[in-house]
Amino acid sequence: MESQPRADKLIRLLCFILLFSVMNVTMFNIALPDISRAFGLLPSEAGWVITGYSIIYAVGSLTYGKLADRYPLRRLLTIGLLLFAAGSLLGFLSPNYATVLAARFVQSAGASSIPALVMIVPVRMYAPEGRGRVLGILASAIAFASGVGPIVGGFVSGWLDWRYLFLISIGTLAALPFLRKWLPDEEPRSGKFDLLGALLLGGSVTLFMLGITQWSGWLALTGALLLALFVLRIVRTADPFVQPAVFRSGGFRSGLFSSFLVYAVSFTVTFVTPMLLNAANGLGTSAIGLLMFPAAMSAAVFGRYGGKLADRRGSLFIIVAALILLAAGQLALSLFSGGAAGYVAACLVFGNVGAAFYQAGMTKLVASTLPAGQTGVGMGILTLGNFLSCAIAGAVVSKLVDGAASGSASPAFGVFGHAGAAAVFGNVYFALAALCLLNLAFVWAAFGRRRKAARRAASPGAETQRA
């Protein structure tokens, strides 16, 4: 483990680059109408600025995670930040839409290194009893960046030009000299890189995400076929892209499934709440961004306390608390759908804080279940699963609320007596609350019994280290 002052300075620097990486995912959403007008595109065509970026981001996160089990983090982050800056400069200077897309793809190839590798640093540089605090700080940075991204996107696009959104991300280069100085000097580890396995998995994820977002059964089926070939590859190859041993841990599989559900809930809230505020409250983009910002700030402020609680009380405690907060937030949103916008903004705080708590607790718990030498790829798989969750949730929920968002929905019965658009959104939030409660029961069944069994197996005088 590195010295505490050096490690803490590094964590603050990682929060800085996380800010740019996460903002870059969300702030371009606001600019899509401007990009459409600039190049005479249909909304579906301009949407590839987001879709293409997300696909490469998901596959890249897993690839960098795998590479981190073999190559030094310093080298991988250097490559990632240079690619991120190169794509940003290309986008700012882009003369046509094809160059814009190419710039976004290069950006994503670099930016995807950041979430995968940043979450590995606490595992390698901090003892288990101190990781929760650090993961809580990182979760707070992600929550803040998610909330401020749309606001920054709207401000820059409105006052300058959407191309300046690219220029913002070049700021990550300022962190590069310090990263190279403060990251530990690691030696490359032996082993081969399974290129065929990487291509099979990358192709599977790409086709599956395209199949979901485009509602194409053939693409999704082809993705499933490539996934089957990938499974055959990893069980028959001596040094596969992903070791099957990663999935033999029941704790890892359970954490992966629970995290998948939580990210589906969190993404759905950020996806449908602006539609609700527009359809039921008549608010514009700027007003919606300002109303959602306090919830993001709350998550940023309280997220670090969730990490400290995970260190003191254990990961399971904070995960349970997070799921209770998430369920309460969705129930409150269901109750106040169609009500005053201020009530909706207040309800969002519960869910956002719960999501930040959950990320710190579950990341720490999942890391503790991974075999030695598989931390990088395991965390990459976790990130990939979260992206797939968001893609699936977005595709499904967009169909459910299409009519309500456009104002063409016929009056529907709401669980709390709402009608029309408020009923549609209220029912979605209610379903999300039920999903959180089911997830809570699953987590307790998967991890609660295991913790009790570990305590019973421990000798009376032995100390039991929390996950």
Q: Which residue has the higher pLDDT, 4 or 111?
A: 111
Q: In terms of C-beta density within 10 A (0-12 exposed, 13-18 middle, 19 or more buried), how is residue 282 classed?
A: exposed
In this predicted model, what pLDDT tens digit does every residue of 380-422 receive, in sequence order?
788 778 878 877 787 777 767 655 545 555 555 656 656 666 7
Position 133 in a domain: yes
Comparison of pLDDT for 451 and 174, the residue scoring more: 174
Reply yes or no on whether the pLDDT at 245 is more than 60. Answer: yes
Tell whether 146 and 80 lie within a shared domain.
yes
Tell me, yes or no, whether 348 and 371 share the same domain: yes
Q: Output the pLDDT for position 453.
A: 56
Mean pLDDT for the chain? 80
396 shares a domain with 280: yes
Residue 185: inside a domain: no
What are the angstrom distances between the C-alpha of 442 and each of 250, 268, 302? 13, 20, 25
Residue with tokens 């421990």, as numbered in its chain: 458
Range with the largest mean pLDDT of 25-39, 91-105, 197-211: 91-105
Residue pLDDT, tens place only, 276-331: 887 777 877 667 777 878 887 888 777 777 777 777 888 888 899 999 999 999 99
Q: What is the pLDDT of residue 454?
A: 55
CB atoms within 10 A of CB 187: 7
- 10 Å CB burial of residue 189 (0-12, 13-18, 19+) is exposed
Separation of alpha carbons 76 and 69, rounded Å: 11
Q: Is the pLDDT of residue 153 over 90?
A: no
Assess whether 161 and 279 both reside in one domain: no
In a domain, 183, yes or no: no
- For residue 409, how many C-alpha atoms fall within 13 Å in the half-sphere facing its CB? 24
Task: Indicate which CATH number applies to the domain containing 354.
Answer: 1.20.1250.20
Same domain flag for 270 and 394? yes
Structural domain boundaries, residue 20: 1-178
Split into its structural domains, the chain has a count of 3
Q: Does 419 lie in the same domain as 286? A: yes
Judge whether 141 lies within some domain.
yes
- Same domain for 280 and 340, yes or no, is yes
What is the token pair recorded at 461?
């005088």
Query: Residue 463's pLDDT band (boundaries 50, 70, 90)?
Result: very low
Check if the beta carbon of residue 253 is closer than 8 Å to that of residue 224. no
Q: Residue 75 pLDDT more than 80?
A: yes
What local confidence, expressed as pLDDT, does residue 302 receive?
79
Q: CA-to-CA distance for 30 and 82, rounded, in angstroms?
A: 26
* Share above pLDDT 70 across residues of the chain, in percent, rounded to a whole number: 85
Four-CA torsion 323, 329, 330, 332, nearest 10 degrees: 140
**Do 152 and 211 belong together in one domain?**
no
Position 466 in a domain = no
Residue 188 belongs to some domain of the structure? no
pLDDT-derived band at 266 (thresholds 50, 70, 90) equals: confident
* Contacts (Cβ under 8 Å, ≥6 apart) of 106: 83, 86, 87, 90
Q: Are 228 and 266 within one domain? A: no
Q: Which residue did the predictor score with more confidence, 398 or 226?
A: 226
CA distances from 155 to 160, 190, 268 (A): 8, 48, 24
Domain assignment present for residue 87? The answer is yes
pLDDT tens digits for 409-457?
A: 555 565 665 666 678 888 889 999 999 999 999 999 888 766 655 555 5
Say if residue 220 is in the same domain as residue 315. no
Q: Which region, left, alpha or beta, applies to residue 126 given φ > 0 means left and ψ of -120 to 50 means alpha?
A: beta
Report the C-alpha gap between 435 and 112 in whole angstroms. 29
- First vs last Cα of the chain: how many Å apart? 18
Across 8-22, 43-57, 78-92, 237-251, least confident range: 43-57
Whether residue 40 is contained in a domain is answered as yes
For 71-203, where are the E strands, in sequence order?
Answer: none
Q: Is the pLDDT of residue 2 over 60?
A: no
Q: Which of 203, 221, 240 is the last residue of a domain?
A: 240
Q: Residue 462 has what pLDDT?
A: 44
Give the closest residue to 325 by CA, choosing from 351, 345, 300, 346: 351
pLDDT, tens digit, 9 for 90 and up, residues 106-133: 998 998 888 778 877 777 777 777 777 7
Q: Do 233 and 256 belong to one domain? A: no
Q: What is the mean pLDDT of residues 163-173?
A: 88
Same domain, 122 and 201: no
Q: What is the pLDDT of residue 464?
A: 45
Contacts for 172-176: CB closer than 8 Å, 24+ residues apart: 172/16, 172/17, 172/20, 172/21, 172/81, 172/84, 172/85, 173/81, 173/82, 173/85, 175/13, 175/16, 175/17, 175/81, 176/78, 176/81, 176/82
